[in-house]
């Protein structure tokens, strides 16, 4: 059962049915009790009036049924008068198969009982014991109590068929059944409409979301138009849409940037070749064009490899080794690789690394991250400046700093420098080189490992800080 | 015809310059917006090729600055941005044409020539002055039914004079339109080119089309 509406309807109808049924049962039981009460008191009154007609004749009780004859019918009460020893003194003749209930011992008080009488169904019978004074004329309570032998016990029984009661109960039951069915149907319809009303916001949200697609992500649901209970949900949905839209925008920007970054070198190579082919060329011309095109192709390769690495790391598919790396010799290596360029720019390279410091990392990725930072520090330095790499153990793990003495980065630029293809100086010339992806790669490598990289800068230079976690 | 290329990709700039110079254009180059702005203001270029993503001053700002200052030079945007919005924005900012990278060099040439025709108010790519015919697309020159072989600089000089047919063109103007920064040409050298060109065009027995106006400059016109 996967329909919310169906669940709501069935749920509410189940509750309603339970309520109706228990109400019906209560009514029937109460009515039956009330009917029996009325019947019982009538039977008792009837039997009392019968008892008044008992006489003592010759020390024995006798009953004159003369008055009874006219009133006898199947429905009218049946009576039985019996002596204490069980001998029947009088019995109405109509219901022969009525099994009169046994006389309970010491039954001074009336006892009511429902008995079965074969074909004529259930009967209600009252049984009580009357005590007749032998000396009816001088009847005195004290005397009677004093001389018990002066009274004779007579069993008076009076019964009436329950058919009428049953009929009444049946009528009530069918009336109740009819009313209950009507209530059930009305409630069913009502809960169908109510469930529909309760689900209407869902349909509205659905409609609003249907208008939102990859190309049209600016649609939002107006939370104000919904009930208070739904507003947090809608705000969450809108927030999710915001994040999605930002993500798509970033993605689109990234794709557009990437194609832009690649188009210019492609244009350069194509143009160079087309111009070259327009007329016969000397060997030096060809060599120069080849050298230029090779350099351009190399810069494209750098961009493409950077893009591939980032894409693989974004997808969590970049293979990641984990080795214990002694930092001092490792940083020495990275600096050695940057040495030729540093020398060309008269930049001094230095390191201050705690000897014996080791970290867990993928050596290739760590080398990539560190050499990107060192290359930048060398490239954007000033002549006779310096690049210093320090590493020490700190609270958060291992802190590696790459400090330069370059022109620094403007505060407005700092938050954006890790963005893909973001360039402080949007020059794409080979003079500064770089793919525009270096710092993004550094950040990706460090963050994939659970670390953090930050940049700070002032007019005396910039410092990039990597905090590499222990584990 | 003198062109300015403002483009920050050095190898693209280099091959563009080479190709265009071989087509008899005088070519100046700038690698960033600042230098480009300075050159565009300092010289009277026939066409400026402008990249949009530039260091220091981006191309769109540069374009707006030039247009606000009233510069009438034809500007062709040469960029990797190929979205329709970018083209609309570029043209609305005052560019005359828009070409996306990568492009065919031939197409760039054709577009530059179209802009030149616009500048000099002609529609026909073939210029005809009396019995002199100049095909600006192929650089073929015919005088009285016979082809004339010209050096690139001679051709450029002839085309410039032909565009200004009937006007006296000063040495300075010629120098400004036919030579770029790298040419260490003095205006005296122009006299040398003029006399060589005159020899080839004003053949004996034909009407002299190229004339010298003493103290003012040169004049190309039909009798």
Convert the pLDDT of each residue in A218-236 to its tens digit. 777 777 778 888 888 888 8
Q: Quick check: A177 and A193 in contact, CB under 8 A?
A: no
Q: Specify if A219 maps to a domain.
A: no
Residue A429's pLDDT is 44
Q: Which of A267, A421, A430 to mutate to test the interface with B (most CBs of B within 10 A)?
A: A267
Q: Which residues, 6 or more positions from B64, have their beta carbon under 8 angstroms from its beta carbon?
A: B93, B94
Stretch A145-163: mean pLDDT, rounded? 75
Cα A350 to Cα A297, A326, A377, A388, B139, distances in angstroms: 33, 17, 12, 5, 61
Shortest CA distance to A445 belongs to which of A279, A312, A333, A251?
A312
Residues A248 and A104 in one domain: no
Q: Which of A258, A282, A413, A428 to mutate to test the interface with B (most CBs of B within 10 A)?
A: A428
For residues A157 and A455, give the distance between their C-alpha atoms in angstroms, rounded to a whole number.
109
Q: How far is A265 from chain B (nearest CA, A)?
A: 7
Could you give phi then psi for residue A324, rounded to 5 degrees?
Answer: -85, 120
Q: Quick check: B46 and B116 in contact, CB under 8 A?
A: yes
* Structure tokens belonging to residue A172: 């009530």
**Which pLDDT tens digit goes with each residue over A318-370?**
777 888 999 999 999 999 999 998 898 899 999 999 888 899 998 988 998 99
Strands in chain B per DSSP E: 2-6, 26-30, 47-50, 74-79, 97-100, 126-129, 132-135, 140-143, 146-148, 168-169, 210-213, 217-220
Burial state string for B186-217 with b = 16 or more CB within 10 A and e = fewer than 16 = eeeebeebbeebbebbbeeeeeebbeeeeeeb
For residues B6 and B29, give the distance between their C-alpha atoms in angstroms, rounded to a whole number.
6
Q: How far is A267 from chain B (nearest CA, A)?
A: 4
Residue A460's pLDDT is 87
For residues A231 and A297, give the distance between their C-alpha atoms in angstroms, rounded to a whole number.
55
Residues A460 and A344 in one domain: yes
Q: Which of A266, A268, A282, A422 to mutate to test the interface with B (most CBs of B within 10 A)?
A: A268
**A-chain residues within 8 Å CB-CB of B103?**
267, 270-271
Residue B133 bridge partners (DSSP)? B128, B142
**A-chain residues within 8 Å CB-CB of B83?**
256
Residue A109's pLDDT is 79
Shortest CA distance to A100 belongs to which of A27, A47, A42, A33?
A47
pLDDT in tens, chain B (223 residues): 899 999 988 899 999 999 999 988 989 999 989 999 999 998 889 999 999 888 888 899 999 999 999 999 999 999 888 889 989 999 999 999 999 999 999 999 999 999 999 988 888 888 888 889 999 888 899 998 899 998 888 898 999 999 888 889 988 888 888 887 766 666 677 888 888 998 888 888 888 888 888 888 898 888 7
Q: Which residues, 6 or more positions from B200, have their beta carbon under 8 angstroms from its beta carbon?
A: B143, B148, B149, B150, B154
Stretch A27-38: mean pLDDT, rounded? 92
Helix (H, G, I), strand (E, B) or coil at A462: strand
Confidence of residue A400 (pLDDT cuts 50, 70, 90): very high
Residues A8 and A45 in one domain: yes
Residue of A296, A426, A430 with shortest CB distance to B53: A426
Residues A331 and A298 in one domain: no
Q: Specify if A223 maps to a domain.
A: no
Q: Which residues of A touch B (CB under 8 A)?
A: 256, 259-261, 263-268, 270-272, 274-276, 278-279, 289, 292-293, 295-296, 425-431
Question: Using the beta-carbon criterion (under 8 Å), do B12 and A429 form an inter-chain contact?
Answer: no
Q: How far is B211 from chain A (nearest CA, A)?
A: 34
Could you give phi then psi for residue B145, rounded to 5 degrees?
Answer: 85, -10
* A82-91, A136-145, A267-276, B118-127: least confident range: A136-145
Residue of B10, B102, B106 with shortest CB distance to A263: B102
Q: Quick check: B163 and B211 in contact, CB under 8 A?
A: no
Cα B87 to Cα A290, B82, B100, B118, distances in angstroms: 33, 7, 9, 20
Residues A299 and A371 in one domain: no
Could you give phi then psi for residue A6, rounded to 5 degrees?
Answer: -60, -45
Write out residues 150-189 of B within 8 Å (CB-CB) of A. none
Q: How far is A426 from chain B (nearest CA, A)?
A: 5
Domain boundary pick from A271, A290, A314 = A314
Q: How far is A284 from chain B (nearest CA, A)?
A: 14
Strand order in the sheet with A452-458: A348-353, A386-394, A397-404, A461-468, A452-458
Question: Using the beta-carbon criterion (under 8 Å), do B80 and A263 form an inter-chain contact?
Answer: yes
Residue of B9, B19, B55 with shortest CB distance to A275: B19
**Which pLDDT tens digit goes with each residue over A426-455?**
544 444 456 788 888 899 999 988 899 999
Other C-beta atoms lying within 10 Å of the C-beta of residue B116: 20
Looking at chain B, which residue has its C-alpha nearest residue A294?
B11
Residues A115 and A12 in one domain: no
Architecture of the structural domain at B126-220: Orthogonal Bundle (1.10)
H-only helix segments in B69-138 = 84-92, 105-119
Shortest CA distance to A114 belongs to which of A40, A19, A193, A221?
A40
Torsion sign across C-alpha atoms A278, A283, A289, A294:
positive
**B-chain residues within 8 Å CB-CB of A275?**
15-16, 18-19, 22, 105
Q: How many CB pairs under 8 A join A and B?
A: 87
Q: Quick check: A392 and A357 in contact, CB under 8 A?
A: yes
| A78-83 and A54-57 strand pairing | unpaired
Residue of B15, B53, B54 with shortest CB distance to A275: B15
Residues A87 and A140 in one domain: yes
**B-chain residues within 8 Å CB-CB of A279?**
22
Is CATH 3.40.50.2300 the classification given to domain B2-119?
A: yes
Q: Specify if A218 maps to a domain.
A: no
Q: How far is B143 from chain A (nearest CA, A)?
A: 26
Residue A272's pLDDT is 95
What is the domain extent for residue A8?
1-52+164-210
Domain count, chain A: 4
Q: Quick check: A432 and A345 in contact, CB under 8 A?
A: no
Question: Using the beta-carbon criterion (under 8 Å), do B15 and A292 form an inter-chain contact?
Answer: yes
Burial state string for A396-431 with b = 16 or more CB within 10 A and e = fewer than 16 = ebbbbbbbbbbbbbeeeebeebbbbbbbeebbbbbe
Helix (H, G, I), strand (E, B) or coil at A448: helix
Q: Quick check: A191 and A13 in contact, CB under 8 A?
A: yes
A106: left (phi over 0), alpha (psi -120 to 50) or beta: left
Cα B8 to Cα A288, A430, A433, B58, B112, distances in angstroms: 19, 9, 12, 11, 20
For residues A42 and A21, give the distance between their C-alpha atoms in angstroms, rounded to a whole number.
31
**B-chain residues within 8 Å CB-CB of A421?**
none
Strands in A84-236 per DSSP E: 88-91, 111-116, 122-133, 151-161
Cα A471 to Cα A86, A315, A370, distances in angstroms: 102, 22, 19
Q: Specify if A222 maps to a domain.
A: no
* A62-71, A382-391, B92-101: least confident range: A62-71
Torsion sign across C-alpha atoms B144, B145, B149, B150:
positive
Question: Using the beta-carbon criterion (under 8 Å), do B106 and A274 form an inter-chain contact?
Answer: yes
Residue A70's pLDDT is 47
Question: Using the beta-carbon criterion (under 8 Å), do A275 and B14 form an inter-chain contact?
Answer: no
Q: Quick check: A409 and A274 in contact, CB under 8 A?
A: no
Geometric angle at alpha carbon B23, from B22 and B28, rounded to 5°: 75
Q: Which residue has the tokens 């700092």?
A: A414
Shortest CA distance to B122 belongs to which of B154, B165, B90, B181?
B165
ipTM summary value: 0.84
Q: Which of B12, B78, B84 to mutate to test the interface with A (most CBs of A within 10 A)?
A: B12
Q: Specify if A221 maps to a domain.
A: no
Residues A410 and A327 in one domain: yes
Residue A316's pLDDT is 81
Residues A387 and A459 in one domain: yes
Q: How far is B100 from chain A (nearest CA, A)?
A: 9
Residue B120's pLDDT is 87
Question: Does B61 reach chain A within 8 Å, measured CB to CB?
Answer: no
Helix (H, G, I), strand (E, B) or coil at A72: coil
Residue A6's pLDDT is 87
The domain that contains A256 carries what CATH number? 1.10.287
Residues A75 and A26 in one domain: no
Strand order in the sheet with B217-220: B168-169, B217-220, B210-213
Residue of A261, A272, A274 with shortest CB distance to B11: A272
Q: Which of A40-49, A66-75, A246-255 is most confident?
A: A40-49
Domain ranges, ordered by start, for chain B: 2-119, 126-220
Question: Using the beta-carbon criterion (under 8 Å), do B22 and A268 form an inter-chain contact?
Answer: no
Q: What is the largest CA-CA distance in chain B?
A: 58
For residues B50 and B67, give the distance between their C-alpha atoms in angstroms, rounded to a whole number.
13
**B-chain residues within 8 Å CB-CB of A270?**
102-103
For residues A270 and B102, give the distance between their C-alpha atoms in angstroms, rounded to a whole number.
7
Question: Using the beta-carbon criterion (under 8 Å), do B11 and A430 form an inter-chain contact?
Answer: yes
Residue A379's pLDDT is 86
Burial state string for B77-88 with b = 16 or more CB within 10 A and e = fewer than 16 = bbbbbeeeebbe
**A-chain residues within 8 Å CB-CB of B11?**
265, 268, 272, 292-293, 295-296, 430
Residues A338 and A458 in one domain: yes
Looking at chain B, which residue has its C-alpha nearest residue A285?
B18
Question: Using the beta-carbon criterion (under 8 Å), do A274 and B12 form an inter-chain contact?
Answer: no
Question: Using the beta-carbon criterion (under 8 Å), do B11 and A279 form an inter-chain contact?
Answer: no
For residues A131 and A151, give the distance between their C-alpha atoms in angstroms, rounded to a whole number.
6
Question: Using the beta-carbon criterion (under 8 Å), do B105 and A271 form an inter-chain contact?
Answer: yes
Residues A47 and A174 in one domain: yes
Q: Quick check: B126 and B40 in contact, CB under 8 A?
A: no
Confidence of residue A425 (pLDDT cuts 50, 70, 90): low
Q: Specify if A358 maps to a domain.
A: yes
Of residues B46 and A2, the one with the higher pLDDT is: B46
């Amino acid at each position: 059962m996967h329909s919310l509406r169906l669940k709501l309807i069935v749920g509410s109808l189940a509750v309603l049915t339970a309520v109706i049924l228990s109400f019906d049962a209560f009514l029937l039981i109460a009515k039956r009790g009330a009917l029996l009460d009325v019947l019982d008191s009538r039977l008792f009154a009837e039997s009392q009036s019968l008892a008044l007609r008992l006489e003592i004749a010759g020390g024995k009780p006798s009953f004159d049924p003369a008055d009874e004859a006219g009133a006898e019918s199947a429905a009218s009460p049946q009576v039985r008068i019996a002596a204490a020893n069980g001998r029947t003194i009088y019995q109405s003749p109509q219901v022969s198969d009525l099994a009169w209930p046994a006389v309970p011992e010491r039954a001074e008080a009336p006892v009511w009982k429902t008995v079965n009488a074969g074909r004529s169904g259930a009967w209600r019978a009252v049984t009580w014991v009357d005590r007749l004074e032998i000396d009816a004329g001088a009847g005195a309570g004290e005397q009677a109590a004093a001389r018990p032998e002066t009274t004779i016990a007579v069993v008076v029984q009076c019964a009436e068929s329950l058919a009428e009661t049953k009929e009444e109960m049946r009528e009530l039951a069918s009336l109740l059944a009819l009313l209950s069915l009507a209530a059930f149907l009305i409630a069913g319809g009502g809960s169908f409409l109510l469930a529909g009303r309760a689900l209407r916001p869902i349909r509205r949200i659905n409609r609003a979301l249907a208008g939102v697609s990859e190309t049209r992500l600016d649609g939002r649901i107006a939370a104000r138009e919904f009930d208070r209970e739904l507003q947090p949900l809608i705000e969450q949905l809108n927030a999710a849409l915001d994040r999605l839209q930002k993500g798509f925008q970033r993605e689109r920007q990234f794709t557009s940037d990437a194609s832009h970054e690649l188009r210019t070198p492609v244009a350069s190579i194509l143009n160079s070749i087309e111009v070259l082919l327009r007329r016969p060329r000397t060997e030096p011309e060809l060599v120069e064009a080849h050298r230029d095109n090779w350099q351009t192709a190399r810069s494209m390769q750098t961009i493409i490899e950077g893009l591939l690495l980032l894409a693989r790391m974004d997808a969590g598919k970049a293979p990641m080794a984990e080795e214990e790396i002694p930092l001092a010799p490792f940083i020495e290596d990275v600096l050695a690789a940057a040495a030729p360029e540093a020398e060309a720019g008269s930049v001094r390279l230095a390191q201050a690394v705690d000897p014996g410091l080791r970290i867990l990392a993928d050596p290739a990725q760590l080398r990539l991250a560190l050499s990107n930072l060192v290359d930048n520090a060398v490239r954007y330095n000033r002549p006779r400046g310096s690049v210093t790499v320090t590493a020490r153990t700190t609270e958060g793990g291992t802190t590696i700093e790459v400090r330069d003495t370059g022109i620094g980065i403007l505060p407005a630029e700092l938050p954006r420098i890790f963005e893909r293809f973001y360039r402080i100086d949007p020059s794409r010339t080979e003079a500064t080189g770089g793919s525009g992806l270096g710092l993004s790669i550094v950040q990706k490598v460090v963050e994939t490992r659970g670390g953090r990289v930050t940049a700070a800068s002032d007019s005396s230079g910039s410092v990039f800080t990597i905090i590499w976690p222990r584990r | 015809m003198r062109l300015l290329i403002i483009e920050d990709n050095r190898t693209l700039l280099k091959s563009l310059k080479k190709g265009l110079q071989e087509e008899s254009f005088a070519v100046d180059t700038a690698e960033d917006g600042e230098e480009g702005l300075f050159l565009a203001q300092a010289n009277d270029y026939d066409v400026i090729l402008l990249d949009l993503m530039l260091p220091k001053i981006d191309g769109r700002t540069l374009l707006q600055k030039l247009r606000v200052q009233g510069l009438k030079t034809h500007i062709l945007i040469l960029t990797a941005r190929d979205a329709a919005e970018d083209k609309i924005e570029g043209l609305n900012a005052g560019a005359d044409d828009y070409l996306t990278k990568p492009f065919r060099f031939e197409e760039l040439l054709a577009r530059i020539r179209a802009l030149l025709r616009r500048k000099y108010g002609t529609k026909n790519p073939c210029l005809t002055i009396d019995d002199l015919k100049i095909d600006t697309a192929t650089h073929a020159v015919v005088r009285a039914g016979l082809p004339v072989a010209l050096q690139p600089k001679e051709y450029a000089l002839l085309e410039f004079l032909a565009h200004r047919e009937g006007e006296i063109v000063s040495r300075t103007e010629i120098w400004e339109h036919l030579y770029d920064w790298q040419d260490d040409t003095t205006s005296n050298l122009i006299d040398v080119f003029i006399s060589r060109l005159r020899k080839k065009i004003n053949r004996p027995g034909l009407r002299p089309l190229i004339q010298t106006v003493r103290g003012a400059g040169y004049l190309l016109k039909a009798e």
